[in-house]
Amino acid sequence: MTAHERQVRLFRNGRNQALRIPREFELEGEEALISKEGDRLIVEPIRKGKLLVLLASMEPLREPFPDVDNDLPPLDAVSL
């Protein structure tokens, strides 16, 4: 075992198999995503709202946004 590993016990909780997650491995939030690769289980926290924090921390773009409709014909007048 390495410093990033710890042996834990598996137990039954009703019809589900469960394990206790030691404090040093606790995940943030209230939900997680679990997947299986071979005989390994991978548990990842579901992070909500992190995109807005990331975008707010980024520098604004300095180059102008391209005119993407430059080659399109003019719009037709529509009455609704």
Per the domain annotation, does 24 fall within a domain?
A: yes
Q: Is residue 64 part of a domain?
A: no
- Residue 78 resides in a domain: no
What is residue 76's predicted lDDT score, i.e. its pLDDT?
85
Cα separation of 51 and 28, whole Å? Answer: 16
42 lies in which domain range?
Answer: 10-52
Q: Is residue 48 in some structural domain?
A: yes
In a domain, 72, yes or no: no
User: 20 in a domain, yes or no?
Assistant: yes
Q: Which residues of the chain have pLDDT under 50?
A: none
Number of domains observed in the structure of the chain = 1
In a domain, 42, yes or no: yes
pLDDT of residue 44: 93
From residue 76, alpha-carbon distances to 1, 69, 73 in Å are: 69, 14, 9
**Over 4-63, what HEC string results?**
CCCCCCEEEECCEEEECCCHHHCCCCCCEEEEEECCEEEEEECCCCHHHHHHHHCCCCCC
In a domain, 35, yes or no: yes
Q: What is the pTM of this model?
A: 0.53
